[in-house]
Amino acid sequence: MIDVTAEIDAPLEQVWAVLAEGWTYAGWVVGASHVRAVDQGWPGTGNRIHHSVGLWPLTVSDTTEVVDVEPGRFIELDARAWPMGVARVRIELSRVDEGRTKVLMSEQVVRGPLKVLPKAVQAVMLIPRNRESLSRLADLALAGAGR
């Protein structure tokens, strides 16, 4: 897994609220351009966000599915973007103090053509993207999105 961490100046509950509100997905995930639907049980295991990836008009419609979750602690996802592949993404939250949250985002391509890329090459693509995703997550948490 390729890891990126950030400390967000927002309580853990505010950060989790953004992750738990599937409609915010395209607002913080770099590359996701549109959320078409969110399964009613999101963020429960097996539930999905139906999204588009890419820049219009060159978008791919696909899904991200919850593989495992412990509300307020972590969520693990299979993020699909065929024909490129599927990435396993794990986002872990830990309380630094009452108003600050540490977020660890880990990602690895697990299926599809991009899986053959060496980890170092994947890191060159994923680290900047995921840093920006965590920055956007922080902005949404600070703005109170997901409430």
Q: Quick one: pLDDT at residue 99?
A: 93
Determine the residue type at 53.
Answer: V
> Is pLDDT of 131 > 70?
yes
* Opening angle at CA 84, ends 127 and 75, nearest 5: 55
How far apart CA 29 and CA 90 sit, in angstroms, is: 13
Query: Pick from 23, 87, 13, 75: which is nearest to 44 by CA?
Result: 75
**For residues 71-98, average pLDDT:** 93
Residue 60 domain boundaries: 2-143
Q: What is the distance of C-alpha 72 from the center of its chain?
A: 15
**Residues in CB range of 97: below 8 A, 6 or more apart:** none
Number of structural domains in the chain = 1
> Is pLDDT of 77 > 70?
yes
**For residues 32-46, average pLDDT:** 96
Give the mean pLDDT of the chain. Answer: 93
- What is the domain-level CATH number for residue 78? 3.30.530.20
Q: Quick one: pLDDT at residue 40?
A: 96
Lowest mean pLDDT among 48-57, 66-75, 88-97, 100-109: 48-57
**For residues 94-100, average pLDDT:** 95
| Entry pTM | 0.93
> Is pLDDT of 146 > 70?
no
Query: Pick from 62, 65, 39: which is nearest to 51 by CA?
Result: 62
